[in-house]
């Protein structure tokens, strides 16, 4: 799709920015959040995220059917096959064509701060009312959206953010090792790089808050440094022209980047060579239940039977779970990207991954391409690409790296990241659910980062119940 095709402006009736009345409501919500929302969170709390909290009933699995062929589902299939399981992967489209296709490409193993953070309250008026805001909310007559939103607001507390950060850092560390093992055992073409990341902060207040988060993550084992603009330019010379426009940066030297879609295609190749079966263009219409077990995944091409089923369907995990009377608090968090070829000029395009915290935009070098991604929109199951969102990404790219590319062929994309209110993925069996049904979903913007660690934890649970 070219830029001209995605430049149609939304109709006036589709405008999703908040009015001042909405802002007033949000302010009032904040005033009693410490009391009302904390209690609401108790009643609307998300299902447990990790295995030790799951229903302990046993299941036996030799043949596992993985629903979903994005990076999370394929990483699970890879780990299952390593452990000797027979595996079938089912997807309504092709491998890596959903949120994995053109995401931000950053592997944020040490920078996992959840979106649900107490600092969001101060940013809300600007984020929701500014015409060029990276955050967008279109209220809908959807109880799931409202429940998710209230849970999210309830999670915007320091104590919740600290617990989530600790959990995500541990899972990310496991994921790094899993991805390293894959690459060590099977050289793959994925434009991988490991030269660190700079997160830029526009003003002194946001930089001070970032240093507090850095201190928390350092206590949990992360290696990060707070840098001045000049020190940041020494690490990434392509930022020289932008240095007067930010107050400081957090540098994480160990961060990586890779093309998630290429990783998906390489996993597809490796898994096929190991005998894993794939059913593409095959939507799962329902899961057939018999007592405490799922016996088949029903599809238009007939049932697919297995001993256990793993739901890695991203945002589609919620309606499938709901059809079984289960609740998975996953809602689409829409994001956009563009991908451009980089200039040959020395120092024009970045090599280090860069995140502009104020713009909520990330930059990742993928070989001779630059991926520019960002935005966070709660607009439901909507993958349309409004031209103004791509224009916003393009403006950010030109502001930070004006000579990095000719910015002609933009290759725009939109995807739906499956987000939970807290930022913790749903990983394991659900209380009250079938004993052989496992969930691996809700990773939000960290799906690529957490995929291999989540796979390892999931398979450890399955292995524990295998005869």
* pLDDT tens digits, 432-452: 999 999 999 999 999 999 999
Strands (E), 219-306: 225-227, 248-252, 256-257, 277-279, 286-290, 293-298, 304-305
pLDDT of the residue at 278? 98
Burial class (CB in 10 A: 0-12, 13-18, 19+), 463: middle
* pLDDT tens digits, 49-106: 333 233 333 444 489 999 999 999 999 999 999 999 999 999 999 999 999 999 999 9
- Residue 311 pLDDT greater than 90, yes or no: yes
- Residue 276 pLDDT greater than 70, yes or no: yes
Architecture of domain 19-464: 3-Layer(bba) Sandwich (3.50)
Q: What is the mean pLDDT of residues 147-176?
A: 94
Q: 């689409």: which residue's tokens?
A: 332
- Residues 321 and 427: their CA atoms lie apart, in Å, by 13
Q: Is 331 left (phi over 0), alpha (psi -120 to 50) or beta?
A: beta
Contact status, residue 172 vs residue 446, Cβ threshold 8 Å:
yes
Per-residue DSSP letter, 296: E
Residues in the chain: 467
- Map out the domains of the chain as residue ranges: 19-464
- Residues 318 and 242: their CA atoms lie apart, in Å, by 42
pLDDT of the residue at 7? 36
- Residue 22 pLDDT greater than 80, yes or no: no
Q: Which long-range contacts (CB under 8 A, 24 or more apart) does 314-319 make?
A: 314/68, 314/70, 314/72, 314/98, 314/99, 314/416, 314/417, 314/418, 314/441, 314/447, 315/381, 315/416, 315/417, 315/418, 316/68, 316/92, 317/418, 317/426, 317/439, 317/441, 317/442, 318/144
Arithmetic mean of pLDDT over the chain = 87
DSSP secondary structure letters along 433-458: S-TTEEEEE-BGGGHHHHHHHHHHHH
* pLDDT tens digits, 277-295: 999 999 999 999 999 999 9
- Residues 424 and 435: their CA atoms lie apart, in Å, by 22
Helix (H, G, I), strand (E, B) or coil at 275: coil
Strands (E), 313-393: 331-341, 353-356, 361-366, 369-378
In DSSP terms, 310 is beta-bridged to 66, 438
DSSP secondary structure letters along 120-134: HHHHHHHHHHSTT-S
CA atoms within 13 A on the CB side of 348: 16
Contact status, residue 408 vs residue 376, Cβ threshold 8 Å:
no
Contact status, residue 158 vs residue 314, Cβ threshold 8 Å:
no
Distances (CA, A) of 159 to 78, 117, 216, 272, 427: 35, 9, 12, 44, 22
Confidence of residue 128 (pLDDT cuts 50, 70, 90): low
Sign of CA dihedral 147, 152, 157, 159: positive
pLDDT of the residue at 21? 37
């Amino acid at each position: 799709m070219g830029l001209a095709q995605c430049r149609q402006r939304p109709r006036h009736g589709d405008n999703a920015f908040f009015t001042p009345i909405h802002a007033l409501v949000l302010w009032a919500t904040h005033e009693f959040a410490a009391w009302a929302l904390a209690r609401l969170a108790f009643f609307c709390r998300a299902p447990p995220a990790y295995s030790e909290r799951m229903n302990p009933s046993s299941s036996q699995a030799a043949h596992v059917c993985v629903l979903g062929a994005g990076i999370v589902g394929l990483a699970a299939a890879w780990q299952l096959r390593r452990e000797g399981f027979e595996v079938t992967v089912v997807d309504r489209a092709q491998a890596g064509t959903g949120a994995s296709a053109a995401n931000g490409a950053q592997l944020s193993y040490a920078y996992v701060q959840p979106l649900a953070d107490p600092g969001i309250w101060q940013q809300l008026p600007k984020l929701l009312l500014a015409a060029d805001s990276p955050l967008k909310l279109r209220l809908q007559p959807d109880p799931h959206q409202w429940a998710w939103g209230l849970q999210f607001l309830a999670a915007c507390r320091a104590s919740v953010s600290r617990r989530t950060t600790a959990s995500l850092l541990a899972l990310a560390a496991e994921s790094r090792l899993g991805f390293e093992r894959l690459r060590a055992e099977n050289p793959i073409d994925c434009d991988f790089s490991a030269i660190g990341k700079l997160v830029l902060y526009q003003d002194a207040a946001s930089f001070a808050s970032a240093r507090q988060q850095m201190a928390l993550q350092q206590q949990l084992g992360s290696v990060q440094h707070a840098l001045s603009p000049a020190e940041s330019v020494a690490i990434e010379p392509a930022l020289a022209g932008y240095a007067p426009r930010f107050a400081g940066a957090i540098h994480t030297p160990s961060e990586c980047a890779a093309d998630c879609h290429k990783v998906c295609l390489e996993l597809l190749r490796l898994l096929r060579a190991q005998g894993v079966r794939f059913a593409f263009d095959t939507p799962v219409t329902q899961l057939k239940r018999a007592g405490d077990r799922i016996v088949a995944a029903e599809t238009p091409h007939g049932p697919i039977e297995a001993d256990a089923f793993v739901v890695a369907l991203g945002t589609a995990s919620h309606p499938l779970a709901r059809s079984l009377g289960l609740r998975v608090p996953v809602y689409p968090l829409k994001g956009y990207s563009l991908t451009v070829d980089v200039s040959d000029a020395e120092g024009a395009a970045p090599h280090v991954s860069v995140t502009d915290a104020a713009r909520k935009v990330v930059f990742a070098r993928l070989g001779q391409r630059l991926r520019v991604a960002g935005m966070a929109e709660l607009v439901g199951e909507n993958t349309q690409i409004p031209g103004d969102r791509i224009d916003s990404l393009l403006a950010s790219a030109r502001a930070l790296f004006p000579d990095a590319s000719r910015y002609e062929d933009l290759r725009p994309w939109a995807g739906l990241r499956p987000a939970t209110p807290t930022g913790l993925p749903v990983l394991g069996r659900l209380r009250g659910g079938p004993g052989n049904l496992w969930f691996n979903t809700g990773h939000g913007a960290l799906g690529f980062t957490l995929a291999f660690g989540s796979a390892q934890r999931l398979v450890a649970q399955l292995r524990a119940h295998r005869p």
